[in-house]
Amino acid sequence: MTSKSRNLFLAIAIFLILITLNKFFLNEVKNTFYTITLPIQNILWKGGEKFSGFLQTLFELRNLKIENQELLKQNQKFLSVMGEIKNLRKENQTLKEALNLELEKDFELILVEVIGKETDGDFVLISKGEDEGISEGMPVITKEKILIGSIEKVYKNFSRILLLSNQKSNFDVEIQNQESSEIYGLAQGEGDLRIRLKFIPREEELAKGDRVFTTVLAGIFPKGLLVGEIGEVKKSDVSAFQEAEIEPYFKRNLSEILFVIKNFIPKKEP
């Protein structure tokens, strides 16, 4: 073997030895690296899984919140629609009862809803106003033909009723007693839902429970509307007139649905 051939053989042998050693040490290094880092990788992997699950939970909670808000909106719309249906049914029932009493034969009516009460001032607010053809002075009644009062102030979309018991209210009335005699007097509001009957001649017989109706003497209200009934009667030997309390029917029957009489124009004071 020549010197050149020996050198080549030696080089190849050394190369093979280096490859073998490199592979062996590389595996050992890898083994050592994995042995050291495997617990850390396991912790990180599990932590990543938990973090991923946490993010998924947050995402699901957000979706549930959005879904809940949508359901609340739908529920509010449903309740609103149901409320409107309930109001319409109530109005229809009131109209049917009014038709049964043939109120439409006597009056042209505007159905209104009570939206507020000022009992301290003897006022009631209703849901319609100038846009619906309501004007000041128009009488307001219930479906039972009970007089509530008259329109005192009109706004664009609502109006204020002056109750019969308001201190500004005074009107002529007729009393029907058991003898069916015609007795006329003046009803005067005293506030706090109280009405007093005045200027009844002393010789007239008044009794508790006698019914009080409107007359057309002063032209403020149509004839024959129910006002109330006589309460306590006050008679004096030294006075030419007697007085009595009127227990207004509207006090016990002020419903949420009322009627404004559109075709009655009260006479204006001179």
What string of DSSP letters covers the chain?
Answer: --HHHHHHHHHHHHHHHHHHHHHHHHHHHHHHHHHHHHHHHHHHHHHHHHHHHHHHHHHHHHHHHHHHHHHHHHHHHHHHHHHHHHHHHHHHHHHHHHHHTTHHHH--EEEEEEEEEETTTTEEEES--GGGT--TT-EEE-TT-BEEEEEEEE-SS-EEEEETTSTT-EEEEEEE-TT--EEEEEEEEEETTEEEEEEEETTS---TT-EEEE-SSSSSS-TT-EEEEEEEEE--TT-SEEEEEEEEGGGT---SEEEEETT--PPPP-
Helix (H, G, I), strand (E, B) or coil at 229: strand
pLDDT tens column, 208-239: 999 999 998 878 999 999 999 999 999 888 88
Instruction: Provide the mean pLDDT of the chain.
Output: 77
CATH 2.40.10.350 fits 109-265, yes or no: yes
Supply the pTM of this predicted model.
0.65
Sites in the chain below the pLDDT cut of 70: 1-59, 71, 74-104, 119, 180, 268-270
Could you tell me if residue 149 is left (phi over 0), alpha (psi between -120 and 50 degrees) or otherwise beta?
Answer: left
pLDDT confidence of residue 149: 96
Residue 258's nearest CA partner among 92, 44, 94, 136 is 94
The pLDDT of residue 11: 57
Tens-digit pLDDT profile for residues 23-58: 554 555 445 544 565 565 555 555 555 555 555 666
> How far out from the chain centre does Cα 128 lie?
16
Q: Are 191 and 166 in contact (CB under 8 A)?
A: yes
**Residue 21: per-residue pLDDT:** 46
Q: 222, 209 in Cβ contact below 8 A?
A: no
pLDDT at 219: 86
Domain positions in the chain:
7-100, 109-265
pLDDT at 34: 47
